[in-house]
Structure 1
Amino acid sequence: MRVELISQRAEFDRLGPAWNALLAEDAACPEGMDATSTHEWAGALIDAFLDDGQWMIVVASDARGVCGILPLYWVKYGGTAPDSDALAVLTELNGGRNGLLVRAGSADTLNAMLDHLARQVSGWDRLLFRTTLGGRSNRMLDELAGNHGRRVVRSEETTSPYLILPADLDQYLRALSQNFRKETQRRERRLRDMGTLDLQIIDGAAETDTLWNAIIEIEKTSWKETAGSSITAKEREQRFYPTLLPRAAAAGQLLAGLLLLDERPIAYCLAIRFGDTAIGLKTSYVEDLSSQSPATVLRRLYFDALAQRGVRAYDFMGACEPHKMRWTETAYSVALYSVFNSGLRGAVARLRHQAKARLRRGLIRA
């Protein structure tokens, strides 16, 4: 096996097919990775947020080709002291159901990559990343700790909802909540009484500017604008999504929904897909039609459109908020992991981490 470290954009660009092939091995919802682990997503993160020298990719290859990819960037963890430097997988900048891009979930390959990283890159005490609990990456970490003696610590945990799209959405909603089903139908009828209601599925590169302009128009007239949580209030999101959309569309991953009333955009769902799973990145609607729940109507029409396009699952992402849990009763959990450097620096960081954890537990008991 050959392991190398790359940091040039041209080398990164050549990894695209191998990168997404590794992802395709482990991309089933809910335990596998999602479209935020693609090569296109990583490229958008680099271009939107990182300068040269802030990122690197550990690449493992064998006779069959690329067998492991670990995309990293430098972060500060737990403070600004010189000894708090860490490396994190790129999706810590923005991600979803992520994991480790290693062929067949081989802990031996991952261990070789970490050994190479420790030899070639100095100054880091831990590697940070998130994985879906119960998935292949979790099993890889268990083997990494058990068979290779790596120090692996799990900390933060979050839960997000997902929906396995039913063959008959109307029947599914009837069983889930008769009241919710009837309410959704009533809202749709009222919107149709107000004018021509149309759902557009936007998936082409030529449509990304139109989509982005509609998103901004809706965000500016949504409740989020007043609350300060709209895309227009978040500089990072304004940098990232216009960078992502053309890449995702060119790769066949864009799958957004736009609801129009008499050609006016009134709600959107910005989503991307990989394999048979779509993930919802952002959703909003215009405030003046809030009484008609345009976002709920959009989702009802959008889920039917997804099923027609061969999508099996929809990941709502984010917290299990009430408006999401009206559609589903299922959820997955993601945890933050630290794999500590095997040298002295990593040992000191691990002891410090354990001391802080004990202190927090003591404060909670007190």
Structure 2
Amino acid sequence: MALAVPAGSLTIPCAGHISLATNLAALEQLSPDWRELHAASAHAHGVFQSADWCLTWARIYAKPELGIEPCVVTGYEDGALVFVWPLMKVKKGPLTILRWLTDPLAQYGDVVVKAGADARPWCRRAMEFLRRLKGIDCLRLRHVRQDSAIYPFLKEQFTRAGEADEAPCLDLTPYPTEAEYDKRYSREQRKRRGKIRKSLESMGKVDFAMLPPGSLMDRAMEQAVDQKRNWLAERGLYSKPLQCPYLGPFLRELSRNGGGSVSLVTSCLTAGSRPISWEIGLRFGKTHFGFITAHDTSLTDASPARLHMDMSQRQAIKDGMRIFDLMIPGDPHKQSWSNARMTVHNFHAPLSLGGSLYGYGYLSLLRPIVRRFYYTAPTAIRTRFTRFFST
């Protein structure tokens, strides 16, 4: 379904209007213009608002039985697509919440807006439209970077929810070669990585490989997800996207989107014939995103993931990448792998009384308190509440 609202506000050009796409067929119809707009205007971190990412996700996840309905707001000027705000309706108890389309799988949230244009007028007009829709209680927008197109609007019009986080990354431009990259390590760091490799070589020759789409990549992705689940379970943690049974089909579908703007790449570290570490990454433009990293949890003390990260960043340099994004959360173990950070915020805006209770009472007040307790609690206690506070 596509709904149109004629322009009558000075907040957007006179020849502009807002529309809404609410099902997969409408998204498929929108996709050519969406791809063209995204390719011409999106920042690298907008990978999760690309048509290829969103359409692949919608084909797998946007099903009535999952309670997910696309709600993608679009803006047109003189008939050309100039604005896309990818959202979806989800149920939270008796409430209907608007969240980023593909959340919580998406790591960053933003809008796509014509290059050089200010997103705020389009966002304001889109909000006027959303407020007129029936049955929406609140907008909950997580993981908004301070350098995103939508951040100035949300900072002015929305309420922040919870504490800010950080998205660490490694700017690779100072390291055009592996030799230059190696210089960033201190003597002690190089010595430690040498010990890790020597320890792993006791199991056999250590090899790093980028896997082609197909059965080998599919198997590696399955192993990565299984081991990541094991790692989380050992710590009493829970990840809704990782536990979802649709994750495997989504990753397989995305890996086969050859020629799209988003590439899914998977690497595997082996010792002898044994796979010991994996990375499922995304690439958009000159940026590599470390999307899912995992290792054989029986080898945690041997630190295979540390050696794998080193090799993955070296491979990114060989492949012409300029940024290696480790994404949120800004955990301490990512510090040695990054040289820059971007602050990331969560926002909400109520559209009903119930939405106000959810936004101000739960997202702003209760949830931050409980999450602080949750992450400092012993594993046995944390396990009891992990699903409730995972997203």
Normalised to the residue count of structure 2, the TM-score between the two structures is 0.74
- 2:362 & 2:274 partners in 1: Cα distance? 53
Match of 2:135 in 1: 123
Calculate percent identity across the aligned residue pairs. 21
SS at match of 2:337: coil
- 1:16 & 1:268 partners in 2: Cα distance? 32
SS at match of 2:85: strand
User: Once the two structures are superposed, what CA deviation does each residue of 1:305-359 show, in whole Å capped at 9, x if it has no partner?
Assistant: 1111121111212323232222224322211122454xxx37x855985678997
SS at match of 2:328: coil
- 2:306 & 2:264 partners in 1: Cα distance? 21
Matched, 1:10 2:22: no
Tell whether the 8 Å contact from 2:348 to 2:359 is kept in structure 1 after alignment.
no
User: Once the two structures are superposed, what CA deviation does each residue of 1:258-297 show, in whole Å capped at 9, x if it has no partner?
Assistant: 1122232111011111111111122122244444321111
Answer with 18-27 or 317-326: which moved more. Answer: 18-27
Matched, 1:277 2:287: yes
- 2:364 & 2:196 partners in 1: Cα distance? 52
Matched, 1:106 2:112: no
User: Once the two structures are superposed, what CA deviation does each residue of 1:151-174 show, in whole Å capped at 9, x if it has no partner?
Assistant: 422223222321112324554554
Letter of the aligned partner of 1:195 in structure 2?
A: G
Counting helix residues as a fraction of each chain, which structure ranks higher?
1
User: Once the two structures are superposed, what CA deviation does each residue of 1:50-82 show, in whole Å capped at 9, x if it has no partner?
Assistant: 3247222222222362112222222356xx4x5
Match of 1:148 in 2: none
Letter of the aligned partner of 2:263 in structure 1?
A: Q
- 1:334 & 1:126 partners in 2: Cα distance? 20
Matched, 1:58 2:73: yes
Tell whether the 8 Å contact from 2:161 to 2:364 is kept in structure 1 after alignment.
no
Matched, 1:96 2:107: yes
User: Once the two structures are superposed, what CA deviation does each residue of 1:208-255 show, in whole Å capped at 9, x if it has no partner?
Assistant: 4233344357558x655644659899531x422431332244135112
- 1:284 & 1:75 partners in 2: Cα distance? 29
Quick one: which of 132, 138, 148 aligns to 2:145?
A: 132
Match of 2:195 in 1: 186
1:12-31 paired onto structure 2 within 5 Å: 12-24=27-39, 25-28=41-44
Match of 1:314 in 2: 324
Match of 2:211 in 1: 202
RMSD: 3.5
Q: Which runs of 4+ in 1 moved over 6 A?
A: 230-233, 355-360
Match of 2:160 in 1: 154
Aligned length: 340
SS at match of 1:195: coil
Q: Taking structure 1 as reference, are residues 302 and 356 closer, same or farther at Cα in structure 2, changes over 3 Å only?
A: closer
Answer with 280-289 or 262-271: which moved more. Answer: 280-289
Tell whether the 8 Å contact from 1:170 to 1:181 is kept in structure 2 after alignment.
no
Unpaired segments ≥5 residues, structure 2: 1-15, 370-391
